[in-house]
Copies of this chain bind each other. A is one copy, B any other.
Amino acid sequence: MKIRLSPRGDDFFQLFEQAADNLVDGAHRLLDFMKSYEDIEHQAQAIKEIELKGDHLTHEIVGKLNRTFITPFDREDIHALATGLDDVVDSIEAVSNRMIAFKIEAPTPQLIEMTDILCHAADEIRKAVHSLRQLDGLMGFCIEIKNLETRADEISRHLISDLFGREKDPIAVIKWKEIYGRMEAATDRCEDVANVIESVVVKNA
């Protein structure tokens, strides 16, 4: 069944697409941040602005939801999708912020690998959100996001185990434990988004 394309529904889809594009922008800027690791204060500021833009879009979607009687899909799913996309962007910003606050000299190769996985998950979210109008191919994107989350989770667990086995400086342990934890949280939040999208698909199939 096709979702009804009311002008009002169209507004929701456009806002979600903007939020997903913003999320992809944030993820790829975090990858640039990690890979170059130069002029990082300035790069982190750009990511902070993406986070603020995400807040603004979420606020717009929730406001529209509260003022709208007929919505293109379930109200609770619209709310969950808006806050879910926002949570991913918040997690991305938290990682760049902690890298600077902790004065990390350089990212580890595994952190870059996790950021790369996050970018793939963000790309899949973008494809899924841009396919919401047609409800087409969404399950494939969701499965891919979950596979990426499982990989990130495995890398993170290995990294934590390795960190405690290798690093003797407790302050460094505290810093890296938090950074890896927040990086993993970012992909966890992508999986939350995939779960909401799955729920929309099942209800409207």
Q: Which A residues lie at the B interface, using CB under 8 A?
A: 62-63, 66-67, 97, 100-103, 157, 160-161, 164-165, 168, 170-171, 173-175, 177, 199, 202-203
Contacts and interface: CB of A to CB of B under 8 A. Distances in A.
A199 B62 contact: yes
A170 to B, nearest CB: 4
A101 B174 contact: no
A101 B171 contact: no
B67 A202 contact: yes
Contact of A157 (B63, B97, B164, B174): B97
B177 A101 contact: no
Contacts of A177: 174
A93 B203 CA distance: 31
Contacts of A67: 202-203
Contacts of A164: 101-103, 171, 175
Given A170-B171, A171-B164, A202 B66 contact: yes
21 contacts: A62-B199, A63-B202, A66-B202, A66-B203, A67-B202, A67-B203, A101-B157, A101-B160, A101-B161, A103-B161, A103-B164, A103-B165, A164-B171, A164-B175, A168-B171, A170-B170, A170-B171, A170-B174, A171-B173, A174-B174, A174-B177
A175 B174 CA distance: 10
A189 to B, nearest CB: 15
A100 B199 CA distance: 35
A91 B160 CA distance: 17
Contacts of A170: 170-171, 173-174
Nearest to A195: B62
Closest 7 CB pairs of A and B: A170-B170, A66-B202, A101-B161, A66-B203, A170-B171, A101-B160, A102-B164
Contacts of A203: 66-67
Contacts of A103: 161, 164-165
Contacts of A173: 170-171, 174
